[in-house]
Each structure stands twice: as C-alpha cells, then as structure tokens.
Amino acid sequence: MPRAIITFASSMPQQQNSGDLHPFVPCLEAKQGDELLLRAWVRLSWEASETAKSDLLKFGVSVDEAYARIDRALMLYGVRRMHQVITDHLSTNTRPDSSTNSWNLKVDDVTDLLQSAESKSCSFQVKHGRNLFCAAAGINDPTVSRELNGQRVAPTSTPLCMACNLPDDDYLCSSLIHPQVLGSVGSGMGPTRRFEGALCDKGQVRNVMTPHRCHAGGHSCWHKSIDVEPPAVAPASPLELAEAWDVLDAAWRLVFGKNKRLLSISSVLVPAAISLGCTTRVEFASRVGALADLIDRTSVGADLLPPGVKKEEIKGSIDALQRALLHKLPADQHQAIKGAVSTLRRVREVRNTMAHSISRDGGLPARLRDLGIYDAPPNWSSAWDAIRAHTAAALTIIRHELRRYDDNRTDT
C-alpha cells in the first residue's frame, strides 16, 4: 500500500520575509520513501494577519495569544491541505506538477482560516446516545464512569475536549499511541480534562515526556503518515451532475409510477448553474446555492411515506426522500440509502453555512471537511468539482438501489 510521510520542514519562507507576510510561514514536506513529492509554504499576507489579529483581540485575548492562534491555524491548514493533496496523488498514482508550491492566503480567507481552528477532531471521542465520552481516559482517571465495548471511558463534552491539550487529530503525530488523559471534577472553574502522557511507537522516549507537543511544529520528530485511500470521485464532464438527476428521476418513476416525478423544474437556470465552474468564493456560494435549491425541489408523494407520518413531522425534502426510501426498500438496502442521503444533507449544510454566515462548530471549513475538502479557501474551483462529484455519486447510489429493488420485485 503506497504511503507518504509529511514532516514539518521549517518556519522560514521560501525567500526571506520582506515584511509583507505574517511572521510565521510554515513549510511542510511530503515524501514517499526518499522521493520528495511536495514542499509547500503557507503564506498569510500581512494585511490578512492584521485583520485576523484585530478579529481575535475583539474577544479579549492578548496580542501574543492572538498570534499563537493564527500560527496554529496556519499549521492546521497546511497539514490538512498537504494531506488531501498527497492523498489525491497517491490514490491516482500521479505526482504534483511541481515539487514546490506556496499556498497564499489573503484577507478574504481570514474568517474561514480562524473558524477552521475552532473545531477539534479527536478519534478518542466516543458518542453513546446523546452522551460524549473520552476513550483516552488514563488508568488513574477518577472520572471514569463506565465501559463501552470493553473500553474504560470518562464523561466529556465538546468544550472540555477543545480545552484538553491532546493535539487535534489533524496534526497529531502518527507515532503517538496510548494517550493518557486525566479528568478532574474541578472546583469553581468546573470539570477539566488534561493530556498527561502517551507512548511513542518510534521510541522517542524523551520527547513523549511532553506529549502535548507531539504535533506539527512541536517536537522535531513529528510526522504524519498517509496511506492511500480510494480515488476521489470526479465528474467525467460538467454535465454529469445534471445527467445524474435525470437518470434518478427516470428510475424513480419506473419504480413508483410514471406520474411520480421526483424533480419538477420550471426553469433551466438551476440546471445550467450546476454545470458551470467557479473560481471565487462568491461563485462557489452561488453554485452550491443552486445545487441545494435543486435538492430542495425534490418532491415525494405522501403515499410513499410511512403510514401515520404527519406533514409537520417531515423536516424538508431530504427527510421526506429518506423516509420514503427506507419505507419502500428492504432493510438490506438501508445502509447505502442513508449514506447517499447523508451526502446530500452535507451539501445543504455547506449552503446554509455560507448563506447565514454560521461560524459555530468550525463554520464553513468544518462543513467542507465533512465532504473531504481541505483546500478551500482558496481553491474554490476544486471544492466545487468535489461537491459535484460527491453529489453525482450519491444520486447514482440512490438510483442503483431503486433499480436493484425493481429488479428483485420483477423476479418475484
């Protein structure tokens, strides 16, 4: 299995910083064996740096803390983007056009950059019903409350996880294993959780004694492994998404009746919009908005819904679509249906986040990461292509399950 390793090369720019950039210019390298795949610098313009600092100072943080948060956001951005770029090349057995690059961020990118650092991904979080637990609970953690799947877990919450100094998964060293997080019931400040120790799979005993620094830009031995993933889907042509809607509508009518159109469109503007490309954030928002409007125009007849479901219980067109499919199709097809519908929901969440400037839970960058998109901003063109690809794939899955159901029904 092809593997690449990301390392933190330096914090120096490709050329001497002339003062028109944020002082911290992280440089990341990705190698496959001894072959350099890509060396990239993350550059934030000085104007954008000042804008970011000003935005953070409004929340009462100190100047030093503001710069620290900007530095962390740049490092997270760099690792996330490098991970996606190299994964895409490994999965298609290709190489970047150039072994060096600069990812330049400007004022328009500041909001998304800061929001991307406000959310935290942690593979040691365990969701159980409505409750959230920490599966990295240390042996001496007095807050451990139960076992889940044979693993000791302690109660936690999103704010507690954010405050914990266990580094974000996105830039946590790949060799860090068996983390030990201890909780306390707290006093007037409330409960806390703190990262106290871990083991190093590479035997870096001295460095792992300060495990909170086992992240990009922390210890010099830091690295992130990338194992190749399935190739990213990509539309064969700009018309593929529109064609996917047409074919799904035909399959829907074949199964449920020729008069049961899933999609009724009175204007050609929306289908035309989803066939266009984009280069800017404004264009990206417009294209995603058109696609989300198309999703919202799906129409499911009341006779296809489960008996007894009231109109006020249906939360939008996607909810109606899923309920109808889960009601009509057998249980062995439900997992595929749920996965495809989940993709459509994520596309709408991107639209809603942009339309309403929603910043909670990581804002737009987090919603894009849910779709495997890490390089927007500033690569809006690639982000739009990825959204079209994932949407077309989701529609194809639904169409396939409808045909499968129809074939089985015909056989019997």
Per residue in 318-352, pLDDT (tens digit) is 999 999 999 999 999 999 999 999 999 999 999 99
- Using DSSP's 3-state secondary structure scheme, residue 226 falls into strand
Specify the pLDDT at position 42. 95
Specify the pLDDT at position 269. 54
- Percent of residues, the chain, with pLDDT higher than 90: 59
pTM for this predicted structure: 0.70
Handedness of CA 49, 50, 53, 58 (dihedral sign): negative
Mean pLDDT, rounded, for 30-36: 91
Specify the pLDDT at position 49. 95
- Kindly tell me if the per-residue pLDDT of 189 is higher than 70: no
Q: Can you tell me the distance from the alpha carbon of 288 to that of 352, in angstroms, rounded to the nearest whole number?
A: 10
Residue 186 is inside which H or E element, if any? strand 176-187
Tokens, residue 410: 């015909």
Query: What Å distances lie between residue 322 and 247, 287, 319, CA to CA?
Result: 18, 24, 5
Specify the pLDDT at position 212. 93
Per residue in 343-393, pLDDT (tens digit) is 999 999 999 999 998 888 788 988 998 888 888 888 899 899 999 999 999
* Cα 378–chain centre separation: 15
